[in-house]
Amino acid sequence: MTAIREPVVIHKGLDNVYVKESKICFIDGDASKLFYRGYSIDELADHSTFEETAFLLIYGWLPTTSQLEGFTQKLDSYRPLEPEVLRLIQEFPEQSDPMDVLRTAVSALGLYDPQPMTDELKLRIDKAMRILAKVPTIITAFDRIRNHKVPIQPKGQLTQAAEFLYMLTGNEPDPYDSHVMDVALILHAEHEMNASTFACTVTASTLADMYSITTSGIGTLRGPLHGGANEAALRTVLEVGDPSRAENYVADALARKKRIMGFGHRVYKTWDPRYLILKKFAGELATRKGQSGLFDTAVAIETSARKHLEGTPIFPNVDSYSGIVFHMLGNQTDLFTPIFAMSRIAGWTAHAIEYLESNRLIRPKALYMGKTGLPYLPIESRTGRLEA
Ligand code: ACO
């Protein structure tokens, strides 16, 4: 006997399914445009800071001077880790993936918040800021511990970007490096209803706390189909190794139906606007740091790929140069996705807060294709395999 089937449409991958109205982010994938709260990403990259952009995403408007000061002071005050959380990180296996460490440590932060559950908007924002501020401290503490170095306390009065680079190395970063890192954080802060933001929204819809919401996002970003393409794109550039080998690599990869990492996007069917900004910085960083070979190889891969993919909607995406930028800023490859998370928390929490303004529990359906009414067999009569 089979279950009665309703006439239904299955939206596998939820392609083109709208789950809420939103005023946070608009992507025009045909015109190569991205807006946060109505402001173009190009303008934000040119004029804003990550802190200001995070405020914009969470509150909905650009802050005044005093609002921005209050926001950054609060982030500063939240930045140090509770000793218990730091001790926990010290206990993790050194070979752990930093994304696993981040997921576990952010979850643990909730244990040291005396009131993790709240339905008050002000407190929800406060918890979002607490997580946002502590994530750079978590990532850098683990990176130093696994390299047998002592974690560095936040210096204070630095931007999220500069503080991250400072806690990573113990040296006050070059202002240009901090600026590039800051812009990279702005560019990764939000991208509408992607997989991790949806995961956060589902968790928020159950009225769970902000720590559970963010942990869901980190777990979802961890997968190679979402975060992680930046690492793969850099590995490709390192593997190709020289601009002269790019054409052969691309032709061979495409002939074998292999994807070129850092190319293609579900929404953008032309240039990803974030790619253009990061490419410029990657070129400048390469000159400054004497790593032109790396950049030239990436450009050669891009040129060959564009030639072979001409006539298709497959263009470079944000990840074609973000990995190179993070690499030249001194980050180990497995820190790229945690850095992505460090920025995207602004978007995740903004969407969770927005969804909770008119919450409805997210509870889709699965079309049952199995049997019903099977007789319960005693253990000695079972076949031990799936019956047709
Ligand atoms: N290189 C070569 N061919 C590609 C690429 C690529 N990077 N991307 C898509 N294609 C081809 C596919 O092989 C497929 O060809 P076919 O129809 O002949 O089989 C066609 O384009 C459509 O592919 P889909 O996977 O259906 O396209 P979609 O738009 O859903 O894919 C995705 C988007 C998953 C990002 C894809 O382009 C990809 O895998 N890119 C490489 C990984 C990457 O850079 N990811 C980062 C995305 S940005 C971000 O998440 C932050």
> pLDDT tens digits, residue range 181-233?
999 999 999 999 999 999 999 999 999 999 999 999 999 999 888 888 899 99
Atom 49 of ligand 1, nearest CA residue: 226
- Note the pLDDT of residue 3: 54
**Closest residue to atom 8 of ligand 1, CA basis:** 264
Return the minimum-mean-pLDDT range out of 63-67, 86-90, 223-227, 277-281.
223-227
Q: What is the Å distance from ligand 1's center to 225 Cα?
A: 10
Does 216 contact ligand 1 (Cβ within 6 A)? no
Q: How many CB atoms lie within 10 A of CB 333?
A: 15
- Write out pLDDT tens, residues 334-347: 999 999 999 999 99
Dist. CA 253 → ligand 1 center (Å): 13
- Confidence (pTM): 0.94
pLDDT at 1: 46
Q: Where does the pLDDT of residue 5 fall: very low under 50, low under 70, confident under 90, or very high at 90 and above?
A: low
**pLDDT reading at 52 higher than 90:** yes
Which residue is listed with tokens 């953008």?
268
266 lines ligand 1 (CB under 6 A): yes
**108, pLDDT greater than 90:** yes
Q: Is 253 in the pocket of ligand 1 (CB under 6 A)?
A: no
Confidence at residue 19, expressed as pLDDT on a 0 to 100 scale: 95
Q: How far is CA 388 from CA 52, 267, 370, 385, in A?
A: 58, 40, 10, 9
The mean per-residue pLDDT over the stretch 97-123 comes to 95
Closest Cα to atom 21, ligand 1: which residue?
Answer: 314
Q: How far is the CA of 273 from the centre of ligand 1 (A)?
A: 17
